Chain A
Amino acid sequence: MAFETVIGLEVHAQLSTRSKIFCACSTAFGAPPNANACPVCTGMPGVLPVLNRKAVECTIRTALATSCTVQRRSVFARKNYFYPDLPKAYQISQYELPVALGGHVDIEVDGGTKRIGITRIHMEEDAGKLVHEGEFAGAQASLADLNRCSVPLMEIVSEPDMRTPEEGGAYLRRLHDILVYLGVCDGNMEEGSFRCDANVSVRPVGQVAFGTKAELKNMNSFRNVEKALEYEIRRQVELIEDGGKVVQETRLWDANAGVTVSMRRKEEAHDYRYFPDPDLLPLIVDESWVEELRGTIPEMPAEKIARLARQYGIPRYDAGILASTRALADFFEASAAIYGGNPKTTANECVHWKDAVLAGTLSPETIAHAVEDRERGTISATASKTLVELVLSTGKPFRTLRDEQGLTQVSDTSSLDILVDKVLAASPKEVEGYRAGKAGLLSFFVGQVMKESRGKANPKMVQEVLKKRLG
């Protein structure tokens, strides 16, 4: 029997605010335990939440960038459950009336475009962190650090529109790009700024009703999401083929073992008893605010790829790599603005030095000068690479280093003549061979001359001089 997979993804993204969503504590990562906490986020008696405007703006901008409809009125609700990392014993979230509904993002698969629906986007607060004393299994106690409590999150729920792990991965990467482009999330998956849960089910091809789904958690990279989906689909199909039944449950991805494992829970069914939070009035978003925020939405990745390819005449593939990170694309455009030349060369350089570019240690001038000097023949490709590395290690300007190091390319024929004479005199056998018709030996001579010049000779000109001299 052939099976079809149905995948829906829920992303929790930490919003890039300085302070928490309902109090003025810092959201900074890595503070000592409970240092970023106050009476409000630790749920002390009588304290009250006040909504961070920036968190709302981040969410609305995401809604606009994913073609969602921003709701004029949305409501914060309490999701009630007990856990030591949840100080109030309820999470302030949005339930029946979220801030945004009904959008989509387009992903590229198999050379085509596929539209993935977004059901809803809502705001909520994060919970704290628990550390288990000793070995997890035998832990006698757990320690609660409430620094993360009330850090602002945005939950983005997709429609069950994905059919393969690759589509799931493509959707996540695209969504990640959008959030980072917007500057609403730093996208750091290791620190948990961008987390994904997956709902996955399989059904016989042709069946309309969805199969029973499992919820997958604990996947902290795109690759892990894809791997977990692959594993889980195989598990479900095999289960059904063996006459078994998929049960609705939450499963954890174990990256080391490469398997999903059922999260054994106590019998108690979840009953979150959602109700509107009486401490927060409805969130009212008027049209003029939405329009103001619409004006702040930057070019999105798909548009950027198309524009870079068109405007600079570079291949779509290259444009895609550049646009994968907003900072890289911006860097490319800045470099190309300083030196026009051939944008394809600039693009290649930007991709080559991507890590340094994203780390902020390289300036667009450096790349522009490197490309310009090479295209003008002032330096060789090898020298260019050496010089950029020197820029990174010394921090000195590219051209200062170029002059200091004497790495300017040897292009004047008189000095090349001397080098060529030297090489030819040292290799009489090869000269004879070449003249006897072994044309391939030309590259041997070029290599020898380049070596003599310590890479400074202009290879094109070396070739010309050699050809002339060898007649």
Chain B
Amino acid sequence: MAITREEVLHVARLARLSLPEAEAERLREQLSAILDYVKQLDRLDTRDVVPTSHAIETGTPFRDDVVRPFGDREALLANAPDRLNDCFRVPRIIED
């Protein structure tokens, strides 16, 4: 199952991975090979099979509605590549 160059570029955009030209072609080949391989699953009839998304069958546990402040804002911000006024600073959002 061949994945097209356009699909590779589209997926890279979705995944926010900038992709040099040369890399796109190599990835296209590798992804095609992997997708070819996994296509073997089509041999199985799974019409009546319920999907498994968790290995555990109980319901999700709850927490009580109690506030426990983390209390160390500086530690949250300390890793930021860029910050200002106790906020995370990012380049402008509007793309031209």
Give residues in A with beta carbon < 8 Å to B: 17-19, 24-26, 32-39, 42, 44, 50-56, 73, 75-76, 82, 84, 130-133, 136-137, 139-146, 266, 268, 271, 273, 275-276, 278, 280-284
Contacts and interface: CB of A to CB of B under 8 A. Distances in A.
B67 interface: yes
Interface string B47-60: 00000011010111
Contact of A139 (B16, B76, B94): B94
B77 A51 contact: no
B89 A142 contact: yes
B39 interface: no
Nearest to B72: A38
B94 A53 contact: no
A18 B59 contact: no
Contacts, number: 130
DSSP majority for the A interface?
loop
Contacts of B18: none
Nearest to A275: B53
Interface string B1-28: 0000000000001101000000000000
Contacts of A142: 89-93
Contact of A278 (B54, B67, B70, B92): B54
A281 B54 contact: yes
Contact of B87 (A17, A24, A33, A271): A33
Contacts of A76: 60
Nearest to A137: B94
A18 B63 CA distance: 12
Given A33-B86, A37-B76, A144-B89, 15 more contacts: A18-B66, A24-B66, A24-B67, A25-B69, A33-B85, A35-B86, A37-B73, A38-B70, A51-B60, A52-B63, A53-B62, A144-B87, A145-B87, A271-B14, A278-B53
A268 B82 CA distance: 27
A375 B63 CA distance: 54
A300 B14 CA distance: 45
B45 interface: no
A35 B77 CA distance: 10
Contacts of A82: 16
Given A25-B70, A131-B87, A271-B14, A17 B60 contact: no
A470 to B, nearest CB: 72
A32 B86 contact: yes
B73 A281 contact: no
A126 B60 CA distance: 20
Nearest to A80: B14
A82 B95 CA distance: 14
Nearest to B84: A143
B64 interface: yes
Contact of A141 (B60, B64, B92): B92
Contacts of A33: 85-87
B68 interface: yes
A281 B67 contact: no
B8 to A, nearest CB: 15
Nearest to B77: A34
Given A38-B76, A143-B88, A53 B64 contact: yes
A182 B52 CA distance: 36
B65 interface: yes
Contact of B86 (A34, A42, A132): A34
B90 A50 contact: no
Contacts of B95: 266
Contact of B65 (A18, A132, A278): A18
Nearest to A22: B63
Given A25-B67, A143-B85, A144-B88, A51 B61 contact: yes
A42 B56 CA distance: 27
B77 A281 contact: no
Nearest to A145: B87
B63 A53 contact: yes
A141 B66 contact: no
B2 to A, nearest CB: 21
B65 A54 contact: yes
A50 B61 contact: yes
Contact of B53 (A42, A44, A52, A276): A276
A50 B62 contact: yes
Nearest to A73: B59
A143 B59 contact: no
B60 A280 contact: yes
Contacts of A52: 62-65
Given A141-B90, A144-B88, A284-B59, A37 B70 contact: yes
A352 to B, nearest CB: 38
A280 B89 CA distance: 31
Contacts of A276: 53-54
